[in-house]
Amino acid sequence: MLDACRDTTLIILMVAAAASLALGIKTEGIKEGWYDGGSIALAVIIVIVVTAISDYKQSLQFQNLNEEKQNIHLEVVRGGRRIEISIFDIVVGDVIPLKIGDHVPADGVLISGHSLSIDESSMTGESKIVHKDHKNPFLMSGCKVADGYGTMLATSVGIHTEWGLLMASISEDNDEETPLRVRLNGVATFIGIVGLVVAVSVLVILLVRGINVNSSSNGFFTGHTEDDEGRIEVIAGKTSVGDAVDGAIKIFTAAFLFYPSN
- List pLDDT tens digits, range 76-135: 998 888 898 888 888 999 999 999 988 888 999 999 988 899 998 877 777 788 899 888
Query: Of 217, 218, 220, whose CA–CA distance to 252 is shortest?
Result: 220
The pTM assigned to this predicted structure is 0.46
Higher per-residue confidence, 106 vs 247: 106
Q: Are strands 138-139 and 129-131 parallel, antiparallel or unpaired?
A: unpaired
Question: pLDDT tens-digit profile of 1-31?
Answer: 888 888 777 887 788 788 778 777 777 777 7
Mean pLDDT score, 131-155: 90
Judge whether residue 155 has pLDDT over 90: yes
pLDDT of 240 reads 55
